[in-house]
Amino acid sequence: MTVIVWDGKTLAADRQIGYGGTTRATTKIFRVGSTLVGFSGNASIAMQVLQWLKDGAQADKYPNTSDPENDSVLATIIITSDGRIAQLERTPYPINLSDNDFYCVGAGADFAYGALAMGATAREAVEVANKYSQYCGHGVDVLGLGV
């Protein structure tokens, strides 16, 4: 229940997290060294993957990302210092994405892609998703490369 947006310059995400019928605000995008990282999916597993990245991202130490109560896939978006995009799902092995113009993931991705196609920034695209998707909200966080 997220939207994470890369517009080629900045990474932006909504702040909404849900527990049953209740929503709260949290941070979903982070800086790890010179890399930007965003998470869509189970928040507790996301924090384990974030720590794994901070600890050096050794493949043999990748956390168990399977949630026996929920079959949702944790999507980890990684933006390298030169703007390349990779995604982790259930393993420590990245899926390198060749289209680096822009990228969106999460329940609000369709709204965000539409906004980006009309010239919106990552922040503006998240704001659109927050307005129209019941699964996005509670504000926007933004990170840029090298800032």
**pLDDT values of the chain reduced to their tens digit, one per residue, 147 residues:** 799 999 999 999 999 998 888 999 999 999 999 999 999 988 888 999 999 999 999 999 999 877 666 556 688 999 999 999 999 988 999 999 977 689 999 999 999 999 999 999 999 999 999 999 999 999 999 999 876
For the chain, the domains span 4-140
pLDDT confidence of residue 101: 80
Segment holding 31, helix H or strand E: strand 29-32
pLDDT score, position 24: 94
Q: Across-strand partners of 144?
A: 10
Q: What is the pTM of this model?
A: 0.92
Place of tokens 């800086």: 31
The answer to whether 96 and 64 have CB atoms below 8 angstroms apart is no
Enter the tokens of residue 30. 């982070």
- Residue-wise DSSP of 35-88: EEEEEES-HHHHHHHHHHHHTT--GGG-----BTTB-PPPEEEEE-TTS-EEEE
Q: Topology of domain 4-140, per CATH?
A: Glutamine Phosphoribosylpyrophosphate, subunit 1, domain 1 (3.60.20)
